[in-house]
Amino acid sequence: MTPTELSAALVIILRRMQDDGRIGAGELPSDVVVERPKNREHGDWSTNVAMQLASKFETNPRALAALLAAELQLLDGVAKVDIAGPGFLNITFSAEAAGELAKIIVEAGNAFGSSEALAGLKINVEFVSANPTGPIHMGGTRWAAVGDSLSRILEAQGAEVTREYYFNDHGAQIDRFARSLLARAKGLPAPEDGYGGAYIQDIADRVLADTAEDILALPEDEAQEAFRAAGVALMFEEIRISLHDFGVDFDVFFHENSLYESKAVDRAIARLRELGHIFELDGAVWLRSTTFGDDRDRVVIKSDGEHAYIAGDLAYYLDKRERGFDRCLYLLGADHHGYVPRMMALCAAFGDEPGVNLEILIGQMVNLLRDGEPVRMSKRAGTVVTMEDLVEAVGVDAGRYALARSSSNSQLDIDLEQLTKRTNDNPVFYVQYAHARTKQVEKNAASLGVDRSEFEPSLLVHPSESELIAKLAELPRIVASAAEFREPHRVARYVEEVAGAYHRWYDNCRVTPLSGGPAETIHRTRLWLNNAAGIVLKNSLDLLGVSAPERM
């Protein structure tokens, strides 16, 4: 019996009670929340369903709870059902029923925690999407960690996920980048509106070295074009490698320029014109986004004939939908939140449902600290701290974990000093250590002849044992909610709790017999639980893109 099964059983009981008239008609919830109560005296699992549904069925919570309790008593594995307070149902499993979970997990292996809840859904997750004008800064790095983890979580729910990077290789920013490269190659200072930072010199030098002809001898505009093409390609490659080294591999790098080359932009505008959402004013072409809640209409083609940035967005969104994505997730930094209304408006203008077909997540800023002081200097970029700086300072695992363990709605302060410590104030080591312990125990067990030839879950009665089992049981629910709310940090918080429960269990319950004693049923049974914990830790860390070492 797992909490998931208990939840399903409650729904069935409610439906049956409705069928034979013990409660009135009315819509039943598809899912009943079953929680682990904070207070151990409140049983193994608890639900507030009676309080939530009582008024709907014109009864009082305790009376409904009593009806449910009588039915729950009859379930296999339920040892005790209490009604507490205003109408909580507190359910206690028998040790045997609870312990069965260890075997379920071991047999499920890396599939434990996954489901097919989102099967058949095609989801496009677009993140990072930093301009190829410099290294990836911390905002992009946060989304690299969180976006990749979110993608893994959605995949674990059965969705077909495409990780996509929108590569902005068109427009004025790129021109500035090209002018900066050219200026630096000539030994001139960076243009007023250009890019500084040592990496500009690196790229400029490499462009010169990689090109056979003498670019600097070309006319100004041709030279700039040569630097643009070669510089963007080099920067692109560098970004791709940084991301790969960070454990993030994109399925699609989508080049903005391709939308113009393929005339997709013109087609998207034509489509909106057919739908009646385009008008002309003052020589410019506008999208009437105010129809869909934007606070002002938006210029799509400027009066000088150039496309505004949103023209690319229109075509890009349409392209995603035409590629068959049911959901298009955009993961943007806080400095882009002002785009949300116009993006939602363009979604609606195409006849789609904002917030469903197009969904935008906003990530707040990340501040790096060292000894409480903000870190501002970066060797290469000069003014911003980059993904590579973070990796160099703390490594990939600690970096990804720190970025993924808190809500992206909150600004985040990361202390580099803390992350480099190999102690408990660095949560990623706490969790990885727990996993390494499960592996070490497994190895010791094998050498002492403890195997999984027996499984007697009724022996798993120590309090730390039932705590651990209950915690392991929550993984499927945690993954489902992390996917539903697009919040990978739920997995990180959860895995820390699992690690804590495992360490406490390890401290109390031995898998291998003391000093050469005989291996008994209890030891063999505990080996199942040990391995189950290892699987849950591993599966959770996988979802975060953090390694699960076998020894540390």
158 in contact with RNA (CB under 7 A): no
DSSP assignment letter at 169? -
- Does position 170 bind RNA by CB under 7 A? yes
Verify binding: residue 172, RNA, rule CB under 7 A.
yes
Residues numbered 72-131 forming contacts with RNA, rule: CB under 7 A: 84-86, 88, 90, 131
With CB under 7 A as the contact rule, which of the stretches 72-80, 97-105, 156-164, 492-500 interacts with RNA?
Answer: 492-500
- Per-residue contact string for residues 382-411; x = within reach of RNA by CB under 7 A: -----------------------xxx-xxx
Edge-to-edge strand ranges of the sheet holding 45-47: 45-47, 88-93, 78-84
How many angstroms separate the CA atoms of 431 and 372, rounded?
Answer: 25
Residue 334 found at the interface with RNA (CB under 7 A): yes
CB of 18 or CB of 173, closer to RNA: 173
d(CA 148, CA 425): 25
CA distances (Å), origin 268, targets 202, 271, 350, 387: 39, 5, 9, 35
Nearer to RNA, 30 or 424 (CB): 424
CB of 24 to RNA, least distance (A): 18
**How many Å apart are CA 502 and CA 507, to the nearest integer?**
9
Is 336 an interacting residue with respect to RNA (CB under 7 A)? yes
- The smaller minimum CB distance to RNA, of residues 209 and 514, is found at 514
Indicate which single residue of 493, 522, 542, 547 sits in contact with RNA (rule: CB under 7 A).
Answer: 493
Kindly write out the interface string for residues 189-228 of this chain, putting x where it contacts RNA by CB under 7 A and - elsewhere.
Answer: ----------------------------------------
Neighbours of 298 (CB within 10 A): 20
CA-CA-CA-CA torsion sign (400, 404, 406, 409): positive
Query: In sequence order, what are the beta bridge partners of 242?
Result: none
- Smallest gap from Cβ 39 to RNA, in A, equals 5
Query: Is the CB of 53 or the CB of 215 nearer to RNA?
Result: 53
State residue 368 phi and psi, 5-degree precision. Answer: -95, 135
Other CB atoms within 10 A of residue 303 CB: 12
The whole-angstrom separation of Cα 147 and Cα 127 is: 6
Tell whether residue 474 is a contact of RNA (CB under 7 A): no
CA 517 – CA 311 distance, rounded (Å): 75
Query: Is 490 one of the binding residues for RNA (CB under 7 A)?
Result: yes
In whole angstroms, give the CA distance from residue 444 to residue 550: 13
Closer by beta carbon to RNA, 213 or else 447: 447
List Cα–Cα distances, 454 to 24, 146, 150, 335, 472, in angstroms: 48, 41, 38, 58, 21
Distance between CA atoms of residues 503 and 220, nearest Å = 66
Of 102-110, 151-159, 220-228, 361-369: span binding RNA (CB under 7 A): 361-369
Choose the binding region for RNA from 43-51, 72-80, 197-205, 350-358 (rule: CB under 7 A).
43-51
User: In the β-sheet with 366-370, what is the strand arrangement from edge to edge?
Assistant: 373-374, 366-370, 412-415
Residues 412-451 that bind RNA (CB under 7 A): 412-413, 415, 418, 422-425, 427, 429-430, 433, 436-437, 439-441, 444-445
Does position 255 bind RNA by CB under 7 A?
Answer: no
Q: How far is the CB of 208 from RNA (least distance, A)?
A: 25
How many of the other CB atoms lie within 10 Å of CB of 258? Answer: 15
Q: Which of 302, 392, 463, 521 binds RNA (CB under 7 A)?
A: 302
Backbone angles phi, psi at 97, to 5 degrees: -65, -40
Minimum Å gap between C-beta 488 and RNA is: 11
Interacting residue with RNA among 10, 13, 17, 48 (CB under 7 A): 48
Count residues binding RNA (CB under 7 A): 91
Applying CB under 7 A, among 108, 362, 461, 522 the residue interacting with RNA is 362
330 phi, psi to nearest 5 deg: -115, 125
State the Cα–Cα distance between residues 150 and 406, nearest whole angstrom: 13
Nearest distance from residue 40's CB to RNA, in Å?
9
Binding of residue 180 to RNA (CB under 7 A): no
